Structures are given as structure tokens and as C-alpha cells.
Chain A
Amino acid sequence: MAAGALLAGAVAVTPLVYLLIRTAEAGWERVAEELLTTRVALLASRSLLLAAVVTTACLVLGAGTAYLVVRTDLPGRRFFGVLAALPLAVPTYVAGFCWIAAVDAFEGFWAAALLLTLCSYPYVYLPVAAALAGADPAQEEVARSLGHGPWRTLTGVTLRQIRPAVAAGGLLVALYVLSDFGAVSLTRFHTFTVAIFTAVDLGFDKTGALVLSTVLVVLTVALLAGEMATRRRGARYARVGSGARHQAPQRKLGAWRWPLAGALSGVAFLSLGVPALSLAQRMIEGVSRADPLGEVAVAAGNSLRVSALGAALSVLLALPVGLYAVRGSGWLPGLLERVSYAGHGLPGLVIGLSLVAFGVHVVYPLYQTTTMLALAYAVLFLPLAVGSVHAAAAQAPPGLEEVARSLGRTPWSVFRTVTIPLTAPGIATGAALVMLTCMKELAATLMLRPTGMDTLATELWTQTSAGAYAGAAPYAALLVALSAIPTWLLVRGNYRELS
């Protein structure tokens, strides 16, 4: 387990090693000239402010939706359960594009914040829904029986039970906001990532872009430390006592049922409906047509294949990290878990460049192969899987493994027959999350894909960059439609827990 976790850590820090080497090559003078400016301070504070606002909004929206869908008698909650996860399939560059076409003067801080919230609240919703479905209601019942009201039980017990999932989701959103380029560039809110892309676009200044990226690394470390500070020592998330876990009771919403359903419909309209309508309008207006069906199918197949590969590799690396973090002792497990987040706060462009260097100089036979692309996805999205595995492992009582060991099972056998089944929901959630995110990744995909291979995301980029919006629409629609499959599998798991 430790060895696997260390290997995953090594993969995650690859881009950091590259950044350090290139920054050192640039020389301190250049670094100081590039970084010690008011411009950098301004950009960093903008990025952080945006991350703070979007994360807060996503926590409220994501956790609230999860609670309504999993624990209440909301009408049509299965439907909303799937719907709330789907925005994950909408790339920010597509959503942004649709919004600026639909709304005049859609630009600046609040526009960027709205877009990013609508596209990334599922990062909170999904793990929290899984945690709510998997949490043992016995603790809540004990609290109620001891005289706590519903509100105190919610804040004092339920929220604490799902804290790891909420924190993991919030962290993912914050890091995602740091690394996003699509939403901020289209809404013209200049954050750090925009400056990094601009350095490459303006004069092909690779070194300047990389030196600037080191600031994102520092911001990432700060966010990780912040999340760490919210953790409670010795907290237990697994159930206590014997017997089978039973279903959590449904909270009756009463008169709030329909207004809340209306609110969720509103969110779905903003996150999915606006892009869909805008694309449909362009499809009607435009005369460009998508490529022949065969090419669309090939791109869809490629998307599924490389995303599945990326998801598989991410989960494989995330499993030891997540388990070690929960079961291991000392400082190393926690550190390795933090390290796995390293790549998530960096833009795909920087990950792409670093793996180009890694491919060219270290593993040349793998350069521009799907394996390399899957590796890039793992570096970028490892924490999505680590967070899910961690949350699931934390809810699995460690006693079961200890009992299996004491009855003479080998560690491998315990891992296979006890640990894996117990963490399976987390593994599935992680795999689906990573897969969904890989499908829409663009910058690293363009840089690392095998020459000549098209995916839905690259085709979408090809069509829109040539202004062929009507031709782009089928790719966008297919991207969302295909993403609905892993989303459905993901969400279905939560319902099996209920009925």
C-alpha cells in the first residue's frame, strides 16, 4: 500500500519536478523580474478571490442538492439526482461561449463566478451525495433521542459525518478554479491562468509561463494547508456497533417540496438549458455541417477509450493513496494524499508542457501515445479519485479488516475480499468523476494525444475555432449525452442505498 501510494505521489509531482528544473534554468534574476511585481500580486489575489466565492457557492449548491436528493421526499429526486451531476460534462469553454452569446456584456468577476459555479458544483454534489447515502443514520438517531432538534442534528451530526466528502469536494472546486482557463478567458476576468496562457500566446514565452506557474503551486499548497487545518483529529466516520445499517429516514419537506424542486430546475436550466438552447440556435442559424457520421463515431470512441484509460490509471494510483491515508499512521500517508493534489491546480497547458518534456527526455517510446495521455489525465485528475476513495474508506469500519486478518487471511486476500468491496462505491465514484472530467479536457489533450487522433473535445475545439458553430453542436451534444452514462451509473449507486 505504501509503495503504491509513493508511486502515485511520484507521478503527481512529475510536473513539479519539471517546473522546478525550468525555473532554475531561467535563473533567479528572471524569476524575480517575473514574479516580484504588483501584477503578480493582483493576479494571485484575483484567482484566490474567485476560488473563494466559487467554492462557497458550490458548497452550498452541491451539498444542498445532495441533501435534498438523498435524504428528503423531493418530487422527482431520481431525475434531479442525475441532472445535478450532468454539468460536469459541460466544458467551461462551451458554457462560457453559450452564455456570452445569450447575455449581453456577460463579463467580469460575477460572470466568471457564475459560470464556474454552474460547471463545477457537481464536484461537491457527487461525493456528498455518496457520503450521505453511505453514512450510518444510527448516529443521527442517537442525537435525536438525546433531545437534539432536527437542525442541531443536521449541523452537529450529519454535517460532521460527511465532512471529509464536503472538504474533498470544496478543495477540488477551489483547485479547479485556479487552473481553469475557458471560463475566465471568455468572461475576460484576468486570473493567473489567463496570464500563463497569455505568456505562451504573447511571444511563445514558455519560460515566463512556467515561472508564473510556480505561483499557482504555492497557492495550491496554501489551499491544501487550509483544508488540512479544518480536519479534526481522531474523528470517526465509520459506523459504531453491530448489526446491519438501515436506511436513513426521509425528511418530509412539506410545503417546501415544490418550491425546492423548482429551485433545482432553475439551477439545471442555467447549467444545462442555457448552453443547450444557445447551441441549438446556432445549429439552426449555421450552415456548416458536422463531419460524416463515421468521423463523429470515431471521435466519440476515442473520447471514451482515452477517458476510460485515464480513469482506470487514476483509480489504480488513487486506491493506495486513499487507503493509506485512512489506514496508515504517521505523517507520510497524509503528505502523500496532499501531494496527489499537486497537478490539479495547474492548467492543462502546463501539465501538457511538462509531460512533453517528460515524454521526450525520459520515456520517449511512450511520447504521443494514448498511454502518455492517460498519464496526463492521472496527473491532472488524481485527486478526484483519491477524494472518493478516501471518503469511502473512512466510512468502512477498520475492525472488519482486522478481524479478517486475525482469522488467518493473507493481507492480499483481505484487500481483495474485504477492503475492495467496502470501498467499491468510492472507487466507482472516483472512476466516473475522472472519466467525466477527462472527456472534456482540452489543453493537455491537444498537446499529448497521438498525432492524428481526434476526440469529441478536440473536434469541438476545431469546429468552434473555425467559427463553424453548427458543425460543433453535434459534438457538444454527444459529449453531454455520453457523459450521462457514467453519471447515471454514479448516481444509481446512491439510490441502491435508499430503496
Chain B
Amino acid sequence: MRTPRVLAAAVTAVTALALAACGSGSGKEATAEPSPAGDGKITIYSGRTEKLIKPLIENFEKASGVKVEVRYDDTAKLAAQLLEEGGKTKADLYFAQDAGGLGAVAKAGLFAALPKDVTSKVPAEYRAANDQWVGVTGRSRVLVYNSDLVQAADLPKTVFDLKDPRWKGKIGIAPTNGSFQSFVTAIRVSQGDDAAKAFLKNLKDNDVQSRSGNALIVEDVNSGKLAAGLVNHYYVYEKAKEKGTTPDGLKAKLHFFRGGDPGALVNVAGVGVLKQAAKDPDVRKFVDYLLSADGQKYFAEQTYEYPLVAGVATAPGLPSLKDLNPPKVDLNDLDSLQQTIAIIKGSGLVP
């Protein structure tokens, strides 16, 4: 039988592979450069969906002559992928749906600080304190409600009113969603851990309905399966767009909480530049474009988010960013998620 010799060879090969993987498992190898600086090409890892930002990227390509390669996945998966890739990532820039994803990558030390003249275009509350990332657009947490099932006069004054028995079994949430976590963090930071725990417990006791994403909540509210739900404001616009109408034509309406309620948290979608691309002029051009009047106008008109750079108007029908009355929460705190996660897991709302 030849088997023993072959077996020995194969075992050696497997062991070598395993050792190679072990030896390099720490992720501290020499930095590989993804695309050489200034070669007219950049690579983006985008947690924002292709449907929303592809036209913007095409506009940028036309305007700048820079070729953009985009890897689309969701924000959390891309953060996990970036953390696994470490210094050997092929990404030049990470475009995330929320501050939490940016914070996690920043914490791993993968981002280069952005120049002050870039970050200063955006108000301090919508960027990292250490300039590791900058917000591009704002999104407000809202209560979406079905206007047939809920009278405007009966809308809750604060998100804490949702424990009222009249909302029993009628409210939708997306507890695994990044923006829901940020919102719970906002409760923690502004009112303390016990308040956050009590809030989630009350929701659970009131038979809150979990969905895997915000879009599904808006769908169920619009069709009347749910009376109301906690989502980000622009999902209603997306739904209207798909139905070929305006938000006025939908049953699903927006209710903004007032008075600094945590239910009105304004989170950002933003970008961070990976270390190895810090000096790439093409990457800089893209960041500048996102924060230019053209870029900001695109988001305001096409994705109905809040522009963060002064001088660009908000989409018609939305209260302006200044008129919103968000809670005082430092988005830098949103990367300190462990406590929030422990609370969400402990609530029994997620597996």
C-alpha cells in the first residue's frame, strides 16, 4: 500500500497550512498597498446599498476621471471583514451606514486621521473627535405610524410612552439593526443603563414585534399589519419611491419626537480612510466630492437624508436639521457598544 507515504505527505501539507495560518493570525504583517496612490483608481467598501449610491459614484467618476471600484455588503459584515483583513485590506475607504461601524474600525486602528480642512466642513457633533471618520449625511430616528390606525392626536410624546397598554402588540422594532443599537445607546448615555434596561423590558412586556430590518417595519406599517414602528426617517421615502408616489400617498407617516427625546437620535452615515490610502489624492477627491454641494445635494434629493454641510437644502416635507430636537448624544460614544449589546441581549428581544 502506498497510503502511509501519501498520508504522511498530506498531513505535512495540512499542518504547514495550519501553521501558516497560525503564524499570521495576529494580523500584524507589513502593510500591503491596495491601489498605489494617485493611480486614478480607488476601492471603496460600501455598507450603503448600490441602488442608492451608484449614480453618485458615476457622477464622481465623470467629474474627476477617477475610476471607482465598490464592494457592497452590509455595514456590519464589512466592519467584520475589515477587522479580519487588518493592514492587508484592499479597501481605500469605508462608507458605513452608521457611526457604530465606523467606530469599530477606528478602534482597531485601521483608519488614518482626516485632514482638518475636510472634517471642519461638518459640525463637530457629526464627526469623530479624533478626526478618524467624518459624517456625510444625517438620519433621524422616528416613529412611523399608519394614519388609518393611529390618530395624530394619540401619538406618543416620548418613546417611553410606548409601554402604554394601548400599543400592546402593535409596535415594530429591528433589534439587531445598527441604528436600533445606536438608539439604545442614546438612551443609556442620556438616561443611564437602568433606564435602557427598563425601556427594553417594557417593550417586551408590551409584546413588541421584531423585524429583521427597518424596511420590513415600514412595509408592515403601511399595509396595516403594524400600527407603528421605530425606524430611520428615510425608509418611508424609499417605500414611496418604489410605489411610484410621494410620502403623502402612503398610509405610513412620520412622527418626529421632540424635546431631546432619545427617540429622535440623529445618527450619521459616514466615511473613514484606511491608513494605507491616507496620502492617496484620488481618495481625497472622493471625500471632498461627498462633502461638496453636488454630493450633499444628491443625498438630500435622492436618498432624503440630511445634508451635513451648510448651505444645502433638506428635501421638501422634512423638518430641517436645525428644527429637529435630537438628544445630546456624542456619536463617538456609539462605538462603546458592548454595554448596549449586553443590555439588548439581556432583554430577550434577540436570540
Contact = CB atoms under 8 A, between A and B. Distances in A.
A198 B351 contact: yes
B144 to A, nearest CB: 13
A209 B18 CA distance: 21
Contacts of A204: 76, 79-80, 83, 100-101, 104, 337
A462 B51 contact: yes
Interface stretch (B158-166, B280-288, B312-320, B339-347): B339-347
B104 A286 contact: no
Interface in A334-361: 349, 352-353, 356-358, 360-361
Contacts, number: 170
12 contacts: A2-B3, A200-B77, A202-B341, A203-B340, A204-B80, A204-B101, A204-B337, A352-B81, A361-B21, A361-B25, A361-B27, A447-B77
A3 B8 CA distance: 10
A17 interface: yes
B251 interface: no
Contact of A198 (B74, B86, B176, B219): B176
A357 B25 contact: yes
Contacts of B64: none
B181 interface: yes
B350 interface: yes
A80 interface: no
B25 A288 contact: no
What 8 pairs between A and B have smallest CB-CB spacing? A190-B351, A6-B10, A287-B244, A466-B51, A361-B24, A203-B337, A203-B341, A451-B71
A160 interface: no
Given A2-B3, A25-B25, A203-B100, 6 more contacts: A3-B6, A201-B176, A352-B81, A447-B77, A447-B81, A451-B71
Interface in A8-25: 9-10, 13-14, 17-18, 21-22, 25
Interface string B207-220: 00010110100110
A362 B79 contact: no
A229 to B, nearest CB: 26
Interface string B57-76: 00000000000011111101
A458 interface: yes
B210 A202 contact: no
Nearest to A8: B10
Interface stretch (B110-118, B127-135, B192-200, B234-242): B234-242
A462 B72 contact: yes
Interface residues of A, number: 67
A446 interface: yes
B225 interface: yes
A111 to B, nearest CB: 14
A104 interface: yes
A461 to B, nearest CB: 9
A43 B350 CA distance: 11
Contacts of A6: 6-7, 10-11, 14
B242 A288 contact: yes
B2 interface: yes
Contacts of A50: none
B77 A349 contact: yes
B260 interface: no
B151 interface: no
Interface string B10-22: 1101100110111
A470 B27 CA distance: 43
Chain A CB within 10 A, most for which of B73, B79, B177, B238: B73
A451 B67 CA distance: 13
